[in-house]
Amino acid sequence: MKSRRPASALADPLRYSAAPPRSLALIHATNAHTSGYKGKGQKVVVIDTGVAADHPSLSGKVVDEACFCGGFFGGCCPNGQKTQTGPGASKDDQGHGSHVAGIVSGVAPEATLVGIKVLDSQGSGSTSDIVSGLDWVLDNHPDAVAVNMSLGGGTPTASDCDSSQSSYASVINDLRTKGVLTVVATGNGASSTGISAPACVKNSFSVGAVYDGNLGKKAWSNCTDNATAADQITCFSNSAANLDILAPGSVITSVGYQGGTANMSGTSQATPHVAGAAAVLRAANTALKPADIESILQTTGIPITDSRNNVTRSRIDVEAAAKEAVARATSTQ
């Protein structure tokens, strides 16, 4: 299973030079921060290629680490084995996970992170390793507000895939019962008739990508947008009736795993905007359950229609969602 990205992996389009990032302003996260909504006291798990815990932008924010990475030629955890836990266990040797973690932290700057490495230096991994990571969260961090999964694969489907993805569905359902929202990228296959696994699991919260501004013509490996604009759905973003939410996914500047910053695009980048937003909402109202977080983000967001299939979904608005979360807390007192 490969990490969720447009087709050509480490080349175009992930490391595409672009204008300065505008995603936090587009989703009004910066406004939310000004109002004091920053995700304080909340924890987000990033299951990916790992997390650069020593990066200045993430320093002090990673509170636990683990690795479940069998690889194709032996263990691909930092210790050379197939499993590892504790400090350094999620050391990133590819960059994707650190970039994702940086986006979560950008949206929820006062939230903490748990890094879990399940993908190797090529961004590949197995379903069994990913499920092991999810099981570890269930056992060790059931207090997390969200698990971010910017990964997946398989043939896109427009229906719930719980029966064919039973190992994913079982642990995602268990996490939801504990109050943990599983946020999953829909995939970058340019499909307008389906989303990939495990985003297609019923109790996951599937995320598609929009542009964060007018970036001119964008030619990706499997499609081309001759013109771009803020809130335009990217042509590579998988979409169907089982898509749940939208967030900025191109082109996003975030943490570079070897220092500095990197520019990446994909539904992988959209997903952590939503996971970070979940932390902001739970901090604003600690009584919120996963279904509450989903409904608030969907009802307070900006409706966007995918011209390819006429599916309309909300693009998140963190400020409006945080205010609604507070209002719900007030109304129940």
DSSP helix/strand/coil, 71: coil
Integer Cα distance of 68 and 264 in angstroms: 25
Q: CA-CA distance, 2 to 281, in Å (whole number)?
A: 31
Q: Which of 105, 239, 268, 314 is catalytic?
A: 268
First to last CA, the chain: 46
Please work out, in degrees rounded to the nearest 5, the angle formed at the alpha carbon of residue 125 by the alpha carbons of 119 and 127: 120
Conformational region of residue 248, where left means phi above 0, alpha means psi within -120 to 50, and beta covers everything else: beta
The amino acid at 151:
L
Of 28, 48, 105, 162, the catalytic one is 48
- Confirm whether 48 is a catalytic residue: yes
Which one of 28, 96, 99, 273 is the catalytic residue?
A: 96
Q: Phi and psi dihedrals of 114, rounded to 5?
A: -120, 125
For residue 108, CA distances in Å to 31, 68, 194, 318 come to: 12, 26, 30, 10
Q: Clarify whether 124 is annotated catalytic.
A: no
Our answer to whether residue 59 is catalytic in this structure is: no
Active site members: 48, 96, 268
